[in-house]
Homo-oligomer: A and B are copies of this chain.
């Protein structure tokens, strides 16, 4: 298997953004390219959880390839609920490991904050079991039930559990305060945590990751760089809580971790720091146990002893985690890897005591039903790509699309028909028959427009064009001319005008 390296990583600021999903992804891609010796890619892997319902964007892989002007490059979208970013990375990893592609761009993002909390919560809850949703269960509710069970199983008092969860929230907000990409860049006090409202007992607002917009990018390459991906692993588990053997661990993480450690040839004790999926603070504890960092039931104690802090023996979520960096669901799995790469390279704003050599990222899909683990290692090799020759099998797909001549200018008010149709089976809100044509305006720009009339349609016909609301209308010129001629005839016959005198074309004709 071909070794796979990281050439560059990038990220938008996480938080509330006015940008579209495609714009966020483009910004993340530009950020990754700015630090990467690889500037052209053979393929694009997009991770997104549910752009269909969050923003009404379907066919997102093609849409993003076009927005990035990648000129025909193969593009797929990968989805595994909230671990989609990590799953896109793993699919891209396999494509490079196979030798089929040399350089690929992984882009992952989600746009969520434009929706109300209840609308976003409804879409997020679609990843859990249907029967459980019917009872009113949400992601926080199920996370809370897992937490209560954990508390009981490991005989933690209510106040000790609260103390542990509070320490995780305070730690992750402190870590996030050093992270320029984090949604929340302010430390919080214990009092702030303890006075925050209950979302679902025993979880408070500060136990839950926020709703966030953001995107992250990773460029993978088969040519040696300073960072290698040495282990990947992936596992699934039941959707429903009622289908599980254990309520205090995630089988999917255990499967993924076992495979990733085996592939990398390392044990949990050889990991220097980890980014884990703390969508809820108790999940950080469970993750560190499932990953083998601490014995089952001992994750909380490790937090209390400061082992998982920035200065601890095994920093967990030094970036601030989902809790503080934010959680644009599809982006998170890729963002963790970007953060880990920065830290391995010594580019992170806060450093651990020693320069770390090996990082682990763990991403969770749904309620722990689709989880992935990625292990990265610093190789102490320079970042620059050794050889710039292209492999003979590299695909002939990297030409950029010719931009339209006047992409930014408004279309002119005249043009001609490039092609057309009359639609008899129309979508809701449009009455048949509906004339549609692709018009090329005087500046050479193509515009899709609705016809005011279904007659006289022919390729090449001259038309007038005008904008009405959010779309364009066209009128065939010859049609107007015929109307004018007929009118002239009538007028002549009726002797309303002297014989031979024709009505002059007026400004009005252009509507």
Contact = CB atoms under 8 A, between A and B. Distances in A.
Interface in A128-160: 128-129, 131-138, 140-141, 144-146, 148-149, 152
A392 to B, nearest CB: 9
A154 to B, nearest CB: 12
Given A91-B91, A241-B446, A81 B53 contact: no
Given A76-B87, A138-B423, A365 B438 contact: no
A398 B199 CA distance: 37
A65 interface: yes
Contact of A396 (B76, B259, B401): B259
Contact of A136 (B370, B420, B436): B436
Interface stretch (A247-255, A337-345, A503-511): A247-255
A76 B74 contact: no
A448 B242 contact: yes
Contacts of A449: 135
Interface in A258-275: 258-259, 262-263
Contacts of A98: 1-2, 94-95, 97-99
Nearest to A205: B425
A98 B222 CA distance: 12
Given A62-B239, A66-B239, A72 B427 contact: no
Contacts of A437: 145
A141 B436 contact: yes
Interface string A63-104: 101100010111111111100000100110011011110000
A438 B216 CA distance: 37
A59 B136 contact: no
Given A200-B423, A423-B144, A76 B75 contact: no
Contacts of A354: none
B446 A65 contact: no
A411 to B, nearest CB: 10
Contact of A438 (B235, B241, B370): B241
A395 interface: yes
A131 B448 contact: yes
A161 interface: no
Contact of A421 (B127, B201, B447): B201
Contacts of A436: 135-137, 141, 145
Contacts of A438: 145, 241-242, 247
A62 B397 contact: no
A199 B425 contact: yes
A73 B235 CA distance: 6
A348 interface: no
Contacts of A366: 59, 62
Given A50-B52, A53-B53, A94-B95, 15 more contacts: A1-B98, A50-B58, A58-B81, A59-B126, A62-B81, A75-B80, A134-B470, A134-B471, A136-B426, A136-B427, A145-B436, A145-B437, A202-B421, A241-B438, A255-B397
24 contacts: A1-B99, A50-B52, A52-B53, A56-B126, A59-B128, A59-B366, A59-B370, A60-B79, A72-B237, A75-B80, A75-B236, A121-B427, A131-B448, A137-B423, A138-B426, A145-B421, A146-B419, A152-B419, A200-B423, A202-B421, A258-B395, A259-B396, A262-B393, A263-B393
Which 4 pairs show the lowest CB-CB distances between chains A and B?
A74-B234, A58-B126, A144-B421, A98-B98
